[in-house]
Structure 1
Amino acid sequence: MIVLLVGGYGKALLPTATEILWDTYGVPHVFARDARDAFQAFGWAQMQSHGDLLLRLYGQARGRAAEYWGEDYLDSDRWVLTMGVPDRARRWYQLQSPAFQSYLEAFAAGINAYAQEHPDLIDDDVEVVLPVKPEDVLAHLQRVLYFTFVVNPARVRGVEKHASGSNAWAIAPSRSANGHAMLLANPHLLWSEQFLWYEAQIQAPEVDIYGATLVGFPGLAIAFNNHLGWTYTVNTHDGWDAYELQLQDGGYLFDGKVQAFETENLTLRVKQPDGSARSQPLVVRRSIHGPVISQQDNKALALRVVGLDQPGVLEQWWDMARAKNLAQFETALQRLQLPMFTVMYADRAGHIMHLFNGQVPIRRAGDYKYWSGVIPGDTSKTLWTKYHPYHDLPRVIDPASGWLQNANDPPWTTTFPQALDPANFPAYMAPQFMHFRAQRSARMLEEDPQISFEEMVQYKHSTRMELGDRLVADVIAAARQYGNELARQAADVLEAWDRQTEADSRGAVLFAAWTQEVKFPEVFATPWQADSPLTTPHGLVNPQSAVKALETAAGKVRQAYGALNVRWGDVFRLEYGKQKLPGNGGFDDLGVFRTVWFAPQKDGTFTSIGGDSYVAAIEFSNPIRAMTLNSYGNSTQPNSRHNGDQLSLFAQKQLRPVWRSRQEIQAHLEERKVFTAGVRTQR
């Protein structure tokens, strides 16, 4: 029996019941009588908020999306099946602990129960995926973590751009104005599909955790409890390699001998416009390195990916959520079930930590650049089979500086003075560079000796352009010396510019247009240098060429927008669903900490497609102070009021308070869902 009550308790509620309290921003607060009920209620909650999207993602993870929805999904199915995702998901399910098997069953049961009770709220087009099984959850996990983040077809082809990023800060009590450790979580992802964040609270006898996860995941990935919190950034982790195979006699050469491929013959079914289905063969060949992803003449390319024998990331997340101190948290981390991501951590005891987390292959030789290319696959000397243990990974705990940052830069620049020496690690562990967003990140922390919670939030919203600070004076001087009248007018606009990408900033559009007319990093007179990481690169290598680029950019801006000093927010727009607002923030490569990715439109404007997504600012005081924002809202269901309802706050650079106690939640209660004692559904 399930009872739905809105706005108050009823007679059917039992003291031991599991319930979901929905607040006025559509955040579900799960209060469960035990862990299994918590997972089931969380499955229900995700269906209420993202049911259509969740089922579509699970259908893709099965490798049957073209069968369900047609030709557009054929490439996705080929990738998923070539990578062996569905079969591996079934094996992974059998390898879960009995307790976690039951949690996955409960999560799937919650999804199915919602769909059974509310078929009218689920798009008819995606109902074909039902019922969901625990293996679907693991297949989705693999497709997203391993075959989107670690590697994906665009990354193999070298054409991926703006798929993922992030900012993360951890501030120690010595650097905090209030004497408490603080954490800033700020992932950057696309605002669509498998990249969407879902905010929630889960409370059961053994856990009380608040945070966010990617839609379809059964546990919170970025989170905090009463004792500690953590977040992630995409790190410079190399978790895959493309091996070139020399084909011979129907097989491939390996250590001087011909090895046979393991071959699997599959059939893809593709839904046709008239509702019928056609069949298409898919032959998957696997070498000792991994599956073959392409072939030309007498050569083939095989893909090797880390972590496919490590099925425990979900249980590791659960144990991280239950940790009460740094030692317990590290005990969970040391399993290294999560294939990649920098981990940034802070706790109430005042500890902060940066971990370059990942399953890093132990390689015999070669540096990061070498392993980023195509690797010879004809010798066992290049074939890795083991990973570095936890104690080998770059890690910093409680640095003297009192702060840690990561903005997708390598671990060596996490704090200053630098706490890690790259010479103490294998050359393939991580590259050496520090891009402009990371420099902006470190600069804000380094320049403020006592950071308050309010200042941390303010810094998080900084739209200042580090690249502009580095070059604009040189561009102005060169334009006045070498430029024509248009270049000198452009110089006047740049001189008046506030160096930011606020909606009202005038000059940012012009400078951004100039960056498209020059070549980076060749434009710099002094390249980036490891011994001057925060002040290089700098200077113009060819001022006259830079001025010619400014003249070209100025001509294009004037023609497109009618003026050189057009407002940033008139050209760059925030859009989600039916909402359209003036934009602020900017691209990573401009060195803007408040990252927003914009896509060009036919009318010459640009529309937001990703960047700042879920944001959490946490102070480990007593009680904990926290504010968050989910840029696009906490639901994608078509008729939900929470589909895009937070975009206006995003445009205003505001966060919302976190409500964690029953008293706070009930003061902002939108809906209550109560599960009575007999609700559990067996698989």
Structure 2
Amino acid sequence: MIWVKRGAFALVVVLLLAVAALATWEPFFATAANPPPLRTYTAEIIRDDFGVPHIYGATDADTAYGVAIAHSEDDFFTLQDVVAMARGRYGAIAGEEGAKIDFAYHLIDARGTAEREYPKLPADTRALFEAYAAGLNQYAQGHPGEVKLANLFPVNGLDVAAGFALRQPFFFGLDSVIGPLVAGDDLRREHGPDIPGFPREPLPVAAPGDTAAAPQQARTLVLPLGEDADHLGSNAFAVAPQKGGGITTLISNSHQPLRGGVAWYELVVESGQGWHFAGANFPGSPFPFLGHNEHLGWTNTVNTPDMIDVYQLELDDTGNRYKLDGQWRELESQWVTLPVKVGPVILPIRREVLRSAHGPVIKNAKGAFAIRYGGIGELQQLDAYYRINKATSFAEWEAQLSRLAIPSTNFIYADKAGTIAYVYNAAIPKRPEGVTANWRGILPGNRSDLIWRGSVDYETLPRIVNPASGWLYNSNNTPFTAAGAGSDLAPEAFSPLMGIELKQTNRSWRAYTLLSQASVLDRATLERIKYDTAYERRGYIDRMFSGLEALKAQGALAEARNLALSWDFTADNDGRADAIALLLIRDFMGADYNNKPFPDVAEKLQAAADHLTTHFGRLDPPMSDLLRLRQGDIDLPLDGGSDTLRASTTWGVADDGRLSIKHGDSFIMWIEWAPGQKVSSRSIQPFGAATTRPASPHYTDQMRLFIDHKLKPVHFWREDVLAKASNRRTVTTMP
């Protein structure tokens, strides 16, 4: 029996070695990048009384270095996730969900795009990214106990740029195409004016010769890189001085996740080279994406033009070649290793990544499908965002926007001269006119004339400057309601090939109504509009309510129905039916936003009633008991709904049945240019400046103000922040 014991011992040793190998292979397999070129950076970081960093440097690069240091001090936890995504290693941190992002990283060739395009950027833009990488590396070196993955640092500017290449297409919904294709499900796409003969319908991903649509499945690939795909949100308002009592106003009210890789981080930057800007960025960016400088400001909302085309490829019997213009071509093939953390080990999962002349290729049971999207293979947005940060006039600002380097998002603009503008910015594919093809369907992949190059001309996009109404807005709605009667654009003036959306949101209907009714849009009036919690009985709300009215119910379900029908169409925490309405609305909104089947009213009503009776013992608890803003030990009541101007869009359901908000009103910035005065602004975050540092006094210090609809001062000017400084220090690169 000795040999049996020895064999068992040997097996245990082998298993232990295997576990050790799986636990340690990934850092050695994924070696660190080359560090940025060695140079000295120095920045001053002054934090105001809310911990918001004001970062000063002699050069723009010095300031970008300071941005990385300040952000790392507040949220190095999230910054590392973003760096891991930018290097295809997020699965080693986040397991299967992270591996999905790593697969997308390889599929769209984010690293290859950065390697090709980053060296082409102007030297001063690249200097910004190298300095930012140097700041990340310095913080990681000084805080080794916080580093999640071995060999994640050092990083360089190209690594940071790869993160931009990964994220940019997901802001216009690339995940809503990749996910169904991976699963073999229908594509549900809704865009602008109908092209004759091509109605807006679910698009079946069909096998050759199969005319039946595949059943809609629940499987999807969800990539948390943009706004919540099911519940897009953001509001933006600009008011000219003639309508605002002499004051030019810009209100930025972006709706992003409250935590994570696309949560806003507030900062003010200033350099001796003329870069002076207050606003917010995402983790992994050396510059703000929205806000203001001394002269002008802008904010963004997500738009949804038809930016993506899908082609079904004709493969030969080997499955390795596809036909194009009568010739067989080899599919480009690359095998990648995805690290997937499972408990204490990291599994190496091999996946094949395919590409054709069209773009990335996904195979499923029904064939091979190629994807092509606006801005594919481009990275000039890194330069364009930097330049608009430093623009001093509308002409300078628009010159950068007209490059269409920033692939999508609406821009709402205002400046000290009183100019306001709305640009439906999008690098929409330049599809050939006169070519017979259903651009909203699955295109034949064997025709090269359907492989477009470049984008439409900037001049063809919807754009409004200084409307007669004196106001502009967007709430993720069609650009054809933006400025009021007499100032709006006509849909028929724009090519249907652009796929410009015609949809409205409740926020849009409410904003349009309230802005149109106001004789003057002063601060008090705009505050009432911004924090409005009402729904209009239109669109999906009307359809849901009509379904409740028609519902035949008995017993407890009838009681729930009658309560829901007593709802006053507000989410203001004042009404017995607000809680049940809040639970009902979100799925109906999500179906409408995403062109999905309308939910069953009885089923959703029953689910809402069950939730309330299970966790609250009643159907009509105050909505403020249900909807909460939670961080650490702070637990506060919240108002607003999934599609109200005061937005509480999505939430997680806690063990106690409360809804802990995770997406909705996030960073709010209110900017004003008064006659003869310097620019001033106020802002708020839902939590604080240090969202992942529980020991920081700025972990939760803005929550009460956020709940109470209040804003704090932005200390844009140096003398103002010095008067409110809670901490002031100089940082410099380590020897």
TM-score norm. by structure 2 comes to 0.79
The structure 2 residue matched to 1:387, chosen from 455, 478, 488, is 455
> Please, what is the CA RMSD of the aligned residues?
3.5
The structure 2 residue matched to 1:243, chosen from 298, 307, 311, is 311
The structure 2 residue matched to 1:296, chosen from 365, 369, 372, is 365
CA, structure 1 residues 632+163, in 2 after alignment: closer, same or farther (shift >3 Å)? farther
Q: Is the 8 A contact 1:237 1:360 kept in 2?
A: yes
User: Secondary structure of the residue that 2:426 maps to in structure 1?
Assistant: coil
- In the alignment, the residues of structure 2 paired with residue 182 and residue 623 of structure 1 have an alpha-carbon distance, to the nearest angstrom, of 13
Q: Is the 8 A contact 1:208 1:225 kept in 2?
A: yes
The structure 2 residue matched to 1:448, chosen from 499, 512, 518, is 518
**CA deviation after TM superposition for structure 1 residue 38, in Å:** 1.1
In structure 1, the gaps of 5 or more residues are 1-15, 523-544
Q: Is the 8 A contact 1:240 1:303 kept in 2?
A: yes
- In the alignment, the residues of structure 1 paired with residue 340 and residue 556 of structure 2 have an alpha-carbon distance, to the nearest angstrom, of 56
Which residue number in structure 1 is paired with residue 66 of structure 2?
A: 41
- In the alignment, the residues of structure 1 paired with residue 586 and residue 650 of structure 2 have an alpha-carbon distance, to the nearest angstrom, of 15
Q: Is the 8 A contact 1:631 1:647 kept in 2?
A: yes
Which residue number in structure 1 is paired with residue 673 of structure 2?
A: 620
Which segment is superposed worse, 413-422 or 265-274? 265-274
1:259-280 residue CA offsets vs partner (Å, 9 max, x unmatched): 22122233345566555x6544
- In the alignment, the residues of structure 2 paired with residue 199 and residue 258 of structure 1 have an alpha-carbon distance, to the nearest angstrom, of 52
**CA deviation after TM superposition for structure 1 residue 226, in Å:** 1.3
Which residue number in structure 1 is paired with residue 267 of structure 2?
A: 200
1:522-545 residue CA offsets vs partner (Å, 9 max, x unmatched): 9xxxxxxxxxxxxxxxxxxxxxx9
Which residue number in structure 2 is paired with residue 648 of structure 1?
A: 704
- In the alignment, the residues of structure 2 paired with residue 91 and residue 201 of structure 1 have an alpha-carbon distance, to the nearest angstrom, of 32
1:456-479 residue CA offsets vs partner (Å, 9 max, x unmatched): 233212212234899789969996
Which residue number in structure 2 is paired with residue 259 of structure 1?
A: 329
Which residue number in structure 1 is paired with residue 143 of structure 2?
A: 119
The structure 1 residue matched to 2:373, chosen from 301, 305, 314, is 305
- In the alignment, the residues of structure 1 paired with residue 248 and residue 90 of structure 2 have an alpha-carbon distance, to the nearest angstrom, of 46
Which residue number in structure 1 is paired with residue 660 of structure 2?
A: 607
In structure 2, the gaps of 5 or more residues are 1-40, 181-186, 188-219, 223-228, 593-599
- In the alignment, the residues of structure 2 paired with residue 262 and residue 669 of structure 1 have an alpha-carbon distance, to the nearest angstrom, of 56
Which residue number in structure 2 is paired with residue 82 of structure 1?
A: 107
Q: Does 1:581 align with 2:674?
A: no
- In the alignment, the residues of structure 2 paired with residue 337 and residue 193 of structure 1 have an alpha-carbon distance, to the nearest angstrom, of 25
Q: Supply the AA of the counterpart residue of 1:125.
A: K
- In the alignment, the residues of structure 1 paired with residue 347 and residue 615 of structure 2 have an alpha-carbon distance, to the nearest angstrom, of 47
Q: Supply the AA of the counterpart residue of 1:643.
A: Y
User: Secondary structure of the residue that 1:29 maps to in structure 2?
Assistant: strand
- In the alignment, the residues of structure 1 paired with residue 591 and residue 63 of structure 2 have an alpha-carbon distance, to the nearest angstrom, of 50
- In the alignment, the residues of structure 1 paired with residue 68 and residue 101 of structure 2 have an alpha-carbon distance, to the nearest angstrom, of 25
Q: Does 1:596 align with 2:649?
A: yes
1:346-373 residue CA offsets vs partner (Å, 9 max, x unmatched): 1111111110101111113599x95444
**CA deviation after TM superposition for structure 1 residue 594, in Å:** 2.7
- In the alignment, the residues of structure 2 paired with residue 518 and residue 390 of structure 1 have an alpha-carbon distance, to the nearest angstrom, of 35
- In the alignment, the residues of structure 2 paired with residue 487 and residue 592 of structure 1 have an alpha-carbon distance, to the nearest angstrom, of 30
The structure 2 residue matched to 1:636, chosen from 691, 705, 708, is 691
Q: Does 1:567 align with 2:635?
A: no
Q: Does 1:334 align with 2:402?
A: yes
Q: Is the 8 A contact 1:228 1:620 kept in 2?
A: no
Q: Is the 8 A contact 1:26 1:634 kept in 2?
A: yes
Q: Does 1:511 align with 2:586?
A: no
- In the alignment, the residues of structure 2 paired with residue 34 and residue 552 of structure 1 have an alpha-carbon distance, to the nearest angstrom, of 57
Q: Supply the AA of the counterpart residue of 2:89.
A: R
CA, structure 1 residues 602+323, in 2 after alignment: closer, same or farther (shift >3 Å)? same
Q: Is the 8 A contact 2:42 2:62 kept in 1?
A: no
User: Secondary structure of the residue that 1:293 maps to in structure 2?
Assistant: strand
- In the alignment, the residues of structure 2 paired with residue 47 and residue 464 of structure 1 have an alpha-carbon distance, to the nearest angstrom, of 39
Once the two structures are superposed, the pairs formed by residues 99-498 of structure 1 within 5 Å of their partners are 99-116=124-141, 118-119=142-143, 123-126=146-149, 128-147=151-170, 149-152=172-175, 156-157=179-180, 161-162=229-230, 164-176=232-244, 178-205=245-272, 206-249=274-317, 250-270=320-340, 273=343, 278-296=347-365, 299-364=367-432, 371-417=439-485, 418-429=487-498, 430-467=500-537, 498=568
TM-score norm. by structure 1 comes to 0.84
Q: Supply the AA of the counterpart residue of 2:692.
A: Q
1:131-179 residue CA offsets vs partner (Å, 9 max, x unmatched): 1211111011122222455522676426564464211111111211x31
- In the alignment, the residues of structure 1 paired with residue 413 and residue 607 of structure 2 have an alpha-carbon distance, to the nearest angstrom, of 46
CA, structure 1 residues 571+245, in 2 after alignment: closer, same or farther (shift >3 Å)? same
- In the alignment, the residues of structure 2 paired with residue 194 and residue 519 of structure 1 have an alpha-carbon distance, to the nearest angstrom, of 25
Q: Supply the AA of the counterpart residue of 2:133.
A: A
Which residue number in structure 2 is paired with residue 96 of structure 1?
A: 121
User: Secondary structure of the residue that 2:66 maps to in structure 1?
Assistant: helix
- In the alignment, the residues of structure 1 paired with residue 416 and residue 248 of structure 2 have an alpha-carbon distance, to the nearest angstrom, of 7
User: Secondary structure of the residue that 1:357 maps to in structure 2?
Assistant: strand
Q: Supply the AA of the counterpart residue of 2:54.
A: H
- In the alignment, the residues of structure 2 paired with residue 551 and residue 75 of structure 1 have an alpha-carbon distance, to the nearest angstrom, of 34
**CA deviation after TM superposition for structure 1 residue 329, in Å:** 0.9
